Amino acid sequence: MGFFSEAVSWGLYTYKDPWLASSSKDGTVPVRSTATRKLNYTLGGHTARVNVVKWGGGGIGGFGLKKGVLYTASSDRTVRVWDAEGGRQLHVLKDHAHWVTTLTLYTDFVLRTGPFDFTGKRPANDEEAQQLAQKRYNALLSTTPELLITGSDDHTLFLWSLFPSSTSAPVDSSAPSEGKGKLKSITRLTGHQRQISHVAFSPDGRWAASASWDSSVRLWEGRTGKFVATLRGHVGTVCRLAWSSDSRMVVSASKDATCKIWDLKTYKIKVDLPGHTDEIYCVDFVADKVVSGGRDKHVKIWKN
């Protein structure tokens, strides 16, 4: 069984009425308004547990996708992409041979930080925040589309480009591929020897890192999926990854009860972070600190 994560996701650019999507074992994804506390709609296309739900931009504005898109990954071996405004299905991705347990977007960092950048400037109101967030997102997409990487218990990852430009419409795959041709990935990322537990793009989108039950972390070129290096040092399943905001460091959390910060120039361990007494399931970079939590029921904070 994989490490299921990101089972709840906030909507984008909806400051006055934030929407919340959550995944479920029953194969559905309810989308609710937090302002009214009412159910807006339910995504019901999956036939098994939904492991990941993530709100993405999908080139907001260029396709008429006013509330962005929802990405869902499931144990039915598919990834589905939906128009978040009303729940219309846009894509069904069927290349994986086993449960799909993790996915990451090229735009993750910008979508996560919204209007806030390195300058530390705070928007004056919700309207300015929305404009600044949209500006940052559009600037990132001006060079590269919103790429997607999916990871599976089949030991592989796939790199996808579903919204190649802001002037062309997305493929409507609501009726599976009869007469339309199968939607193809850019490339297949292979090399891990066991299940993929997590994958994450770097904030600048230049790199992607994947973690696996084979105790390794692998680095890939973010835009092409080309293999870069294998990071070895853990002696247990690597459960989770996180990047520093400047994309210069990646930290991994493992069942071996350690976190490790990696030197991306030498591909060696830069800093070992022991201290937990049991398996570590989550880790994140928060400014100049690393935060982790695990089975020992402790949250630990390290200052970089």
Least confident of 8-22, 33-47, 70-84, 276-290: 8-22
Q: Degrees (nearest 5) of the Cα angle 164, 10, 79?
A: 45
Give the pLDDT score at 153.
Answer: 97
- pTM for the whole thing? 0.88
* Both tokens assigned to 103: 């996915």
- At residue 15, the pLDDT reads 58
Give pLDDT, residue 228: 98
Query: What per-residue string of b and e applies to 159-185 under the rule 16 or more CB within 10 Å gives b?
Result: bbbbbeeeeeebbebeeeeeeeeebeb
Tokens 């480009």 sit on residue: 161
Average pLDDT over residues 116-134: 80
Alpha carbon separation from 199 to 103, 126, 159, 217 (Å, rounded): 6, 32, 11, 9
For the purposes of burial, counting CB atoms within 10 Å of the CB of 139, is it exposed (0-12), middle (13-18) or buried (19 or more)? exposed
Q: Are 83 and 90 in contact (CB under 8 A)?
A: yes
Cα 215 to Cα 202: distance, rounded to the nearest angstrom: 20
Do the beta carbons of residue 260 and residue 240 sit within 8 Å?
no
pLDDT above 70: percentage of residues in the chain: 86
- Determine which of 135-139, 238-242, 295-299 has the lowest per-residue pLDDT on average: 135-139
Confidence of residue 279 (pLDDT cuts 50, 70, 90): very high
CA distance linking residue 49 with residue 285, whole number of Å: 29
Q: What is the mean pLDDT of the chain?
A: 86
Rg over CA atoms, the chain: 19
Residue 15 contacts residue 129 (beta carbons within 8 Å): yes
Q: Look at residue 62 in the predicted model and tell me its pLDDT.
A: 47
Q: What topology does CATH give the domain 8-190?
A: Methylamine Dehydrogenase; Chain H (2.130.10)
Which tokens go with 7?
């089972």
Name the band, by pLDDT with cuts 50, 70 and 90, for residue 172: very low
- Write phi, then psi, for 116 (nearest 5 degrees): -95, 125
Asked if residue 228 lies in contact with residue 221, where contact means CB atoms within 8 angstroms, the answer is yes
Q: Which of 126-140, 223-237, 286-300 has the lowest mean pLDDT?
A: 126-140
Domain chopping of the chain, boundaries: 8-190
With a cut of 60, say whether residue 109 has pLDDT above it.
yes
pLDDT at 170: 43
What pLDDT sits at residue 27? 93
- Per-residue pLDDT tens for 213-254? 999 999 999 999 999 999 999 999 999 999 999 999 999 999
pLDDT band at 177 (very low <50, low <70, confident <90, very high): very low
Q: Which residues contact 95 (CB under 8 A, 6 or more apart)?
A: 158, 185, 188
* CA–CA gap between residue 174 and residue 285 (Å, rounded): 38
- pLDDT, residue 175, reads 41
pLDDT greater at residue 80 or residue 181: 80
| Mean pLDDT on 166-171 | 42
User: Which percentage of the chain shows pLDDT scores above 90?
Assistant: 61
